[in-house]
Amino acid sequence: MYKQHLNEVVVISKIQTVLSVQQPSVQQPSVQQPSLQRPSLHNYQFSVLGSKS
């Protein structure tokens, strides 16, 4: 139980760092970058959900 909670905290911090890394790059290329990032972030969340169950 505790180990699983630790994993979730690690995942959340990973997502936050990914978001903070991606945000500055969103502003530079205006159109292409967001459309590239949304699927990758969605896939990341999907894989996290898949590994939970």
pTM beyond 0.85, yes or no: no
> Once rounded to an integer, what is the mean pLDDT over residues 30-53?
58
The mean predicted confidence, pLDDT, of the chain is: 65
Residue 10's pLDDT is 84
pLDDT band at 34 (very low <50, low <70, confident <90, very high): low
Per-residue pLDDT tens digits for 12-30 = 888 777 766 655 555 555 5
- 48: exposed, middle or buried (Cβ count in 10 Å: 0-12, 13-18, 19+): middle
